[in-house]
Amino acid sequence: MDRIVDIATDGRHLSLYRGFLVVEEQREEVGRIALDDIYAVIVHAHGTTWSANLVAALAERGAPVVFCGSNHSPVAVTLPIEGHHAQNARFRAQWGASKPLCKQLWRRIVTAKIAMQGSLLATRGIAGAEAFPLIARRVKSGDSDNLEAQAARRYWPLLMGAEFRRDRNSPGANALLNYGYAVIRATVARAVIAAGLHPTIGINHANRGNAFVLADDLVEPFRPLVDALVVAMIARGLDTLDPKLKRQFARLIAFDLRIGGEASPVSIAAVRLAQSLARAFETGRPSLAIFDPPTPIEWAALARSDESDEASE
């Protein structure tokens, strides 16, 4: 399986040597991994340095480098300029996409996200979950009624408790969510580039300071997967991000999702979603390859992944 490399120890130096990413501390090698095995690199340690050759070699392989702040939320990402043989044509189609098409695409993204939220709540037997399929069906073009936000206001108290507030700068569950979302965001950003799309041209998000708005659009249906894992961690008293929990988040990219009756890991589901978006821009038809919500058994398997990791320690 492709691996996510997490750099969490201060003062490490990252370099390239004969096809390997080499990690050094005070000029002594402490680890290495083959570049071809790397899916993404996540850096959130102070004083980390790296060679330009390494970043270029990772970009050639389509592996993003994600830089995180002290709250474990991404602040920068490096990705290759070229990602697909038809990139120029797809850039033009993406830039020229009509507003009605983008609004219909966004409706499908929001509908899928709300359906995922409802599925997770229902699997956990939480009263109020039955409202989410109804909300999902009511989403209009462009989510003009802002049902995504309305669903979120119901979702977080039901899932995490009435006192919970989603705050990127808070510790505990919020920090775990930040890191999990960073893993999924890197996965989607890589898929966006591989599909020949430009990451700064979104279908809904339009933050001028965000160079990866398209990844933030497409990541939305995947977020409840992170939520489910975090809830399971909190239930076991695990609320501090450590190497063991990071490994569990990294394994999310291998979790199987169903698309049209076929099982694909999250990493491939992200590629299929991005490729379908590229085709939608080219054809003008708002069709997306969005995965189905997991079954109760599949949600349970995701929640148990932290237990299996703990048992293997």
> For position 123, which CATH number holds?
1.20.120.920
61 and 102 fall within a common domain: no
* Residue 224 CA neighbour count, 13 Å, CB half: 26
10 and 135 fall within a common domain: no
End position of a domain, from candidates 17, 50, 82: 82
274 and 135 fall within a common domain: yes
Burial of 60 (0-12, 13-18, 19+ CB in 10 A): exposed
Does residue 273 lie in a domain region?
yes
Separation of alpha carbons 100 and 90, rounded Å: 18
| Bigger pLDDT: 262 vs 118 | 118
- What is the pTM for the complete model shown? 0.82
**Binding-site entries for Mn(2+):** 148, 205, 220
Burial of 78 (0-12, 13-18, 19+ CB in 10 A): middle
> β-strands 13-17, 20-25: how paired?
antiparallel
Residues 196-253 pLDDT 10s? 888 888 998 766 556 688 999 999 999 999 999 999 999 999 999 998 999 999 999 9
**Binding-site entries:** 148, 205, 220
DSSP 122-186: HHTT-TTTTHHHHHHHT--GGGTT-HHHHHHHHHHHHHH-TT----TT-STHHHHHHHHHHHHHH
First-to-last C-alpha distance (Å) of the chain: 20
63 and 173 fall within a common domain: no
End position of a domain, from candidates 49, 82, 115: 82
Which residue is associated with the tokens 């002594």? 28
Q: Any bridge partners for residue 261, and if so which?
A: none
Residues 128-156 pLDDT 10s? 999 999 999 999 999 999 999 999 999 99
68 and 162 fall within a common domain: no
What CATH number did the domain enclosing 19 receive?
3.100.10.20
34 and 71 fall within a common domain: yes
Q: How much is the pLDDT for 313?
A: 47
End position of a domain, from candidates 82, 112, 146: 82
In percent, the amount of the chain with pLDDT more than 70 equals 93
Helix (H, G, I), strand (E, B) or coil at 234: helix
Domain residues for the domain of 17 are: 3-82
38 and 74 fall within a common domain: yes
Does residue 311 lie in a domain region?
no
117 and 48 fall within a common domain: no
Q: How many domains does the chain have?
A: 2
Nearest to 39 by CA among 77, 4, 6, 15: 4
186 and 207 fall within a common domain: yes
